[in-house]
Amino acid sequence: MSLAADILGWAFILAGSFFTVVGAFGLIRMPDLYTRLHASGVLDPFGVSLILIGLMFQAGFTLVTVKLAFLVLLLLFTSPVACHALARAALHREVKPLLDDERSSSSKR
Amino acid sequence: MFAAAAIALVVALALTVARALLGPTVFDRVLGANTIGTLAVCLMAVYGFLTERPEFLDVAIVYAFLNVLSTLAILKFFRFGSLGDPEDDEPAPRLETRP
């Protein structure tokens, strides 16, 4: 394996790990469901796809690379669909988004 | 270095489990479950590289399919109160959708 592909793979894996942890912190820290969906979008297709792309660089050109590419494409297609369905279902069951004035009044209490 | 990615994934998994347990509405829990599934897929791929056994990737692909299908089925149930069975015309269960 050439050195450039190795370094590029590690860069992708480290960036993916960073975005995964940041997204998980956002999932804990965000105030309501819809902002948590945004934090999940950082974690769910983006960070995980970066880690899998880094693994593709580490694997070289084998069947493993093809499987990883298939996994990345699958995640990139299905996870926005699941996120959208979640937001629509939550709106349908009347989960209200947290608005700015409610938030400032609740923080005064 | 694969271990660093695995540790980051396990930390993210712990935080996501905390959100799925805490989550005030049922949709927060569904979001947590979906994210746990995606993180488990990635952790399986990384673990396959860590132990140099890439057979785990097949399991990861199947698990990714099952994850999105189960999320959509759970959301359909919580949105309409049933899974769309025509004989099943019971009213929708009342859920605590408010925090």
Chain B contacts of A14, Cβ < 8 Å?
4-5
The Cα-based distances of B98 to A4, A19, A103, B17, B24 in angstroms read 52, 30, 16, 20, 7
pLDDT of residue B9: 92
pLDDT of residue A109: 40
Which of these, A44, A43, A52, A51, lies nearest to A25 by C-alpha position? A43
- Tens-place pLDDT, residues B51-82: 988 888 899 999 999 998 998 888 888 877 76
Q: Is residue B52 part of a domain?
A: yes
Question: How many domains is chain B partitioned into structurally?
Answer: 1
With vertex at residue B33, the alpha carbon angle to CA B69 and CA B60, rounded to the nearest 5 degrees, is 60
- Minimal CA separation from A108 to chain B, in Å: 19
Q: Is residue B46 part of a domain?
A: yes
Q: Is B10 on the interface with A (CB under 8 A)?
A: no
Q: Is residue B29 part of a domain?
A: yes
Residue B90: strand, helix, or coil: coil
Report how far residue A19's alpha carbon sits from residue B18's, in angstroms, rounded to the nearest whole number.
18
Residue B15's domain comprises 2-80
- Tens-place pLDDT, residues A56-95: 998 888 888 999 999 999 999 999 999 998 888 888 887 7
| pLDDT over threshold 60, residue A53 | yes
- Tens-place pLDDT, residues B20-56: 998 788 889 999 999 999 999 999 999 998 898 888 8
Please indicate, yes or no, whether the overall pTM of this predicted structure exceeds 0.90.
Answer: no
Q: A with B: how many residue pairs have Cβ under 8 Å apart?
A: 137
Q: Is B46 on the interface with A (CB under 8 A)?
A: yes
As separate numbers, helices (DSSP H) first and strands (DSSP E) second, chain A gives 5, 0
Q: For B52, which DSSP code?
A: T
